[in-house]
Chain A
């Protein structure tokens, strides 16, 4: 929905129903809206039952990778004698994405409830919500919600009066995109520099504090109470009839050159063309969309033709040359210098590289330098091949995928919008002609 929080007729507001409703932020308000019924129910079930329902619902991770949530939870072995941990990834830093921020600032209790259920389902007594340091408002509302939840006995040593221990804590980051990478997040939570770890061991074996850990995105966890309340079949019905692999509703953040930016919730399989023009109002007056980045800046850029033919689910985006990613839809219109924006994206990655791996540390920096040189009118015809070669060296060769993520907009940009680069490079000859004063 755009602002002020009026949903479009074609939206399905499961997660976003109470965006813009300040009363939903309080414990009483949340309970009045059906909140914490799912937690009560969950604490009366066995963890295996909960994992089974979530598995059956087809829910997949909303942070970017799309891994089946129930399967991830089933990797946590009960009764291994070790403390388990749940980490909620609220380090939303992917350019173009701002859905988790809205969830936390309007419906913080939804996340508290989702974390509590998730923790119980994986045999953890403690969940940490790692929120990026810049999110002062979401942190404020989350802290307030947790205070209320502890005071009312929703959380703590006797959660909901069931005798079970469920703790949820907020942990504030301090400015580092890489801490949204799950192993970097665990390092950061432990009080270290946010350098990603080599996998394996995977977090379910050795995660935060060396203990079995599950990391879930904010949006993933807030889905869980709805699935427990309404059943897996209810959730599965939000999908394309011909694609049962993507289920449920998805929040998309829409930004850039567009009439109605905001967060929109639609069922899996929704036509992207209708989404862009009908829900989001299309490009600014007199403009056309030129390039679309549908899943946060780390996914391949789409042409307008590709985007208009896309069905919005995990498989639908892949079929049209990109990925669903984090659901951050960035729109770039025909008035923009696309190469400049790709250079800006590369600069973002160069700034955020943790610098552990050579391909990333050097690759992000050189990609940025070359692109900025092209934008400044000093590019050479060989630059594009050099960029593609660097891109290849940055893909699949590092500890985490930040390096790959930098190469993606550059390589897809050159492949799909080569002409834009060439026009800038050709300007160089003009640039070299001695100016006649």
Chain B
């Protein structure tokens, strides 16, 4: 696994993140159990989880980088590549689908300038993906923009939402 020299460590001794991780480790009988939370911290700091980020976490939790990568690739929410500043996830599973979720996806692709699902807009501001059930089916169509949840989105609301993010 390659290690980029430009990766700034997240868990520098004495830093707030290191303290947060140390506190977390008291909650579990194993170090490995802190892996998912540690990866979240890397993503919050860096916007994505690079191989160097995985290597840093692996060292701290006494795991191998390959093991950490195996875990990262299992879960959909860890970004293995940089994404747009606004990462837009639109739920299109059946309950939202019957309420017109696909039209919401189309509207986001159109108004953000993303050519297709998963692609980042040329200005780097947006990435749009379809996501499987966000668990807010009564508020179709729910979307997530980074860590923020927006309920009951319809295509006509999309231009306003996108404008508010620019």
Contact = CB atoms under 8 A, between A and B. Distances in A.
Contacts of A96: 94-95, 137
Interface string A114-139: 00000000000010000011111100
A400 interface: no
Contact of A351 (B35, B40, B132): B132
B45 to A, nearest CB: 16
Interface in B35-94: 35-37, 39-40, 61, 63, 70-71, 74-78, 89, 92-94
Interface stretch (B7-15, B142-150, B153-161): B142-150
Interface stretch (A33-41, A186-194, A303-311, A357-365): A186-194
A174 B49 CA distance: 13
Contact of A191 (B33, B89, B140): B33
B162 interface: no
B144 to A, nearest CB: 6
Interface stretch (A63-71, A165-173, A199-207, A425-433): A165-173
B95 A330 contact: yes
Interface string B103-134: 00000000000000000000000000001111
A337 B32 CA distance: 46
Given A97-B137, A261-B138, A193 B71 contact: yes
B132 A189 contact: no
Contact of B133 (A93, A256, A257): A93
A58 to B, nearest CB: 28
Interface string B2-33: 00000000000000000000000001111011
A325 interface: no
Interface in A179-229: 188-194, 209
A176 B133 contact: no
Contact of A171 (B32, B37, B89, B147): B37
Contacts of B131: 134
B67 to A, nearest CB: 9
A133 B134 CA distance: 10
A174 B36 contact: yes
A352 B35 CA distance: 21
A253 B74 CA distance: 29
Interface stretch (A148-156, A341-349, A368-376, A379-387): A341-349
Contacts of A332: 98
Contacts of A126: 27
A251 to B, nearest CB: 12
A101 B30 contact: no
B135 A98 contact: yes
Give the most central of B30, B93, B137: most A CB within 10 Å.
Answer: B137
Nearest to A136: B147
A416 B97 CA distance: 21
B77 A328 contact: no
Nearest to A337: B98
Contacts of A257: 98-99
B132 A191 contact: no
Contacts of B76: 174-176
Contacts of B30: 190-191, 209
Interface in A262-295: 262-263
A336 B95 contact: no
A172 B43 CA distance: 13
A396 interface: no
A204 B40 CA distance: 30
Give the most central of A173, A175, A209: most B CB within 10 Å.
Answer: A175
A312 interface: no
16 contacts: A95-B94, A95-B132, A96-B94, A171-B37, A173-B75, A174-B36, A175-B75, A175-B78, A191-B32, A191-B61, A194-B74, A255-B138, A261-B137, A263-B138, A297-B94, A344-B92
Given A134-B134, A173-B75, A175-B76, 16 more contacts: A93-B133, A137-B149, A172-B36, A175-B75, A175-B78, A176-B75, A190-B30, A190-B32, A192-B71, A194-B75, A257-B98, A297-B93, A330-B94, A330-B98, A330-B137, A341-B97
5 nearest A-B residue pairs (beta carbon)? A191-B35, A175-B77, A175-B76, A174-B75, A255-B137
